[in-house]
């Protein structure tokens, strides 16, 4: 039996891993910040030794993009310092480490889908701390460790764009949604399944980076339109520009991720975004 530690288990990805865990022949230890402080290296090490952990899936992250602008230290502790701790311990204890990163490590000025080796230049504090975590992990360089960058994550759990649109679709007759920010949503359950299926295949000397999101490319406007269509909400969606919806943290205009590397390396198929949205709405009981 392989023992797996999942950090950030109350988040969207952690919750989806918990939801599907019974289908896999692993023993899981689901933790959150109240149960295991991953910014405390000694506590992590003790937990790993006591429970004979073989794999760590680090879903823990500070993800409040706008708040990160004013909470830099907190964001850095979780997105960078904690990752450094996990990487150091993974190297010392010969543990597989899967760390989740973000498309926000890019500046969004590309003209073609981002590959793993493209220049990283985050445009906000959140992205900078996620990049710092990547760099810390690569510098420590535990074997059998991978970084998975993902984008626009949603789920039937937690707070996310899909659930917000469904709520607003019931409350309003019309809604403005950004049309000049391009990327691809990621259904957290798809990513969770992929992670658990590739664990036996992870065998590398140096920390590797992979990209994962659902297939296809769209704007937030397109995404909102399809949510309302599938859920048969009467709310009209109007296109607006990023400049017309100012936020404390700037967002990349273009963050479409190229998934060729992960598909070829692990021989996986990635669902089309509309199919995954359909599945999530069924889980939520909102597919009409």
Residues in the chain: 288
Overall average pLDDT of the 19-40 stretch: 95
What single DSSP character describes residue 146? Answer: E
What is residue 48's predicted lDDT score, i.e. its pLDDT?
Answer: 97
Q: Judge contact between 13 and 212, C-beta under 8 A.
A: no
Q: What angle do CA 281, 14, 159 make, to 5 degrees?
A: 50
* pLDDT tens per residue across span 125-153: 999 999 999 999 999 999 999 999 999 99
Q: Judge contact between 122 and 130, C-beta under 8 A.
A: yes
Between CA 39 and CA 5 the distance in angstroms is 15
Distance of CA 147 to the CA centre of its chain: 11
Give the whole-number percent of the chain exceeding pLDDT 70: 100
pTM of the model: 0.96
The residues with which 133 forms a beta bridge, in sequence order, are none
* pLDDT tens per residue across span 215-272: 999 999 999 999 999 999 999 999 999 998 889 999 999 999 999 999 999 999 999 9
- In this structure, what token pair is assigned to residue 270? 């990635």
Residue ranges of the alpha helices (H) in 187-219? 188-198
Residue 126 falls in the annotated catalytic set: yes
Nearest to 235 by CA among 154, 152, 177, 160: 177
* pLDDT tens per residue across span 153-167: 999 999 999 999 999
Q: Judge contact between 198 and 96, C-beta under 8 A.
A: no
Number of neighbours of residue 176 by Cβ within 10 angstroms? 15
Between CA 150 and CA 181 the distance in angstroms is 16
Between CA 193 and CA 16 the distance in angstroms is 9
Q: Which of 62, 104, 126, 210 is catalytic?
A: 126
Q: Judge contact between 47 and 188, C-beta under 8 A.
A: no
Contact residues for 115 (Cβ-Cβ < 8 A; gap 6+): 211, 258, 260, 261
Query: Residue 75 pLDDT > 90, yes or no?
Result: yes
Between CA 95 and CA 111 the distance in angstroms is 38
Query: Residue 288 pLDDT > 90, yes or no?
Result: no
Overall average pLDDT of the 169-198 stretch: 97
Q: Judge contact between 249 and 192, C-beta under 8 A.
A: no
Overall average pLDDT of the 168-193 stretch: 97
Nearest to 15 by CA among 156, 160, 153, 166: 156
What domains are there in the chain, each with its CATH number?
A: 2-158+186-216+255-271 (3.40.50.720)
Give the whole-number percent of the chain exceeding pLDDT 90: 97
- For all residues of the chain together, what is the average pLDDT? 96
């Amino acid at each position: 039996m392989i023992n797996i530690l999942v950090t950030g288990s109350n988040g969207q990805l952690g919750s989806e891993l918990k939801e599907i865990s019974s289908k896999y022949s692993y023993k899981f230890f689901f933790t959150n910040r109240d149960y295991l402080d991953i910014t405390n290296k000694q506590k992590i090490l003790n937990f790993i030794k006591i429970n004979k952990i073989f794999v760590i899936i680090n879903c823990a992250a500070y993800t409040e993009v706008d708040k990160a602008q004013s909470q830099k230290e907190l964001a850095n502790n979780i997105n960078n310092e904690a990752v450094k701790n996990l990487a150091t311990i993974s190297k010392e204890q010969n543990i597989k480490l899967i760390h989740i990163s973000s498309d926000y490590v890019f500046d969004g000025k590309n003209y073609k889908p981002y590959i793993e080796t493209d220049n990283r230049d985050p445009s906000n504090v959140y992205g900078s701390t996620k990049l710092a975590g990547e760099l810390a992990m690569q510098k420590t360089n535990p074997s059998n460790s991978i970084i998975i960058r993902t984008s626009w994550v949603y789920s039937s759990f937690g707070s996310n764009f899909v659930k917000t649109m469904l709520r607003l679709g019931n409350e309003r007759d019309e809604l403005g949604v950004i049309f000049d920010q391009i990327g691809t949503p990621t259904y957290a359950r798809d990513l969770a399944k992929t992670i658990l299926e590739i664990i036996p295949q992870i065998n590398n000397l140096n920390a590797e980076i992979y990209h994962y999101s659902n297939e296809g490319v769209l704007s937030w406007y397109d995404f909102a339109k399809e949510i309302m269509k599938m859920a048969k909400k009467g709310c009209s969606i109007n296109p607006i520009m990023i400049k017309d919806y100012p936020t404390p943290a700037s967002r990349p205009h273009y963050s479409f991720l190229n998934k060729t590397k992960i598909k070829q390396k692990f021989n996986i198929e990635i669902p089309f975004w509309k199919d995954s949205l359909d599945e999530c709405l069924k889980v939520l009981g909102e597919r009409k």
